[in-house]
Amino acid sequence: MNLTHLRVLEAVARHGSVTEAAKELHYSQPSVSHHLRRLEAATGARLVQRVVRGIRLTPEGELLARRAREIIGRVDAASVELATQVGLRAGRVRVAGFQTVLSTIVPKAAAELSASYPGIELVLTDVHAVEALRMLRAGHVDIALVFRHSDTPDEAEGLRLTHLLDDPLYLISQQPDQRLEDHRDSAWVGGCERCRAAMVTACERAGFTPRISYFSDDMVVVQSLVAAGMGVATLPGLALEAHRTPGIHATEITGNTRQIFAATYGEPPDPPATTALIKILKTIA
């Protein structure tokens, strides 16, 4: 027996017709019949019977066809796995993402990628999430690491998103166990436009509009201003994991999270290196 003979038998079993099996396999009908005769000679068993409207499998033929289906499935799966592994011996994956995810999840993922697939080159670019999406759509990167708050518009048109984690929002102040409404008269430190919008929304839900006196996209600057008593702020959990300034306290604001995604663009499947990195990112996140 060889794999070609088994593919022929399995196709005949599925279609119940030499003609249809020949069409699927791109063989001539005589060639299909020839392979069936060769398989019968190799097994010493009669596998097909001629009937008025074509052929049908004998019990021995049905048994072998079932086994052939299993064998072909395993061989095809092995071929896909092997092709993927070969594709991971070399290549490049380009990633654009925002500061907090690049300083927490990505370094661990980069180390894992390097250890598992040393032939893959990883290129990282630190940009805001909106710019990361522009780079992705323009073809400048393979993966954009982005976030979306629950009340922000969906930007997923044409994108394929892999959810990595939910990142909660925290009130940053000099005292523990504070509430947003405790700071309706305090000065606030605002971050980037999207983060600032999330802070304002959280405060408005608590019944007031924050008085934003300082603006900084840098999580170290934001925490330092709070530690110095200049105001309060909100920061996501990943920012606190990346850096924690002494003298501040973080209190989770319930019901306020941002979802973090690995975004790809275009028709699947993704290149093997891209798929491998997304799988690692998801596991670590």
Say whether both 81 and 9 belong to one domain: yes
Say whether both 148 and 180 belong to one domain: no
Residue 49 has pLDDT above 60, yes or no: yes
Helix (H), strand (E) at residue 94: strand 91-97
pTM for the structure as a whole: 0.69
Q: Which residues of 231-267 are buried (b: 16+ CB within 10 A; e: fewer)?
A: bbbbbbbbbbebbebeebebbebeebbbbbbbbbbee
pLDDT tens digits, 218-272: 999 999 999 999 999 999 999 999 999 999 999 999 988 999 999 998 877 888 8
User: Domain holding 204: CATH number?
Assistant: 3.40.190.10
Say whether both 21 and 138 belong to one domain: no
Say whether both 137 and 266 belong to one domain: yes
Residue 155 is predicted with a pLDDT of 59
Say whether both 97 and 54 belong to one domain: no
Say whether both 73 and 18 belong to one domain: yes
Say whether both 191 and 243 belong to one domain: yes
Where residue 176 falls among pLDDT bands split at 50, 70, 90?
A: very high
Domain end point (choices 87, 121, 153): 87
Say whether both 233 and 171 belong to one domain: yes
Domains of the chain: total: 3
Least confident of 144-158, 186-200, 252-266: 144-158
pLDDT tens digits, 80-133: 667 666 767 778 899 999 999 999 999 999 999 999 999 899 999 999 988 999
Helix (H), strand (E) at residue 27: none
Q: Note down the domain range covering 221.
A: 167-258
Residue 156 is predicted with a pLDDT of 62
Say whether both 143 and 36 belong to one domain: no
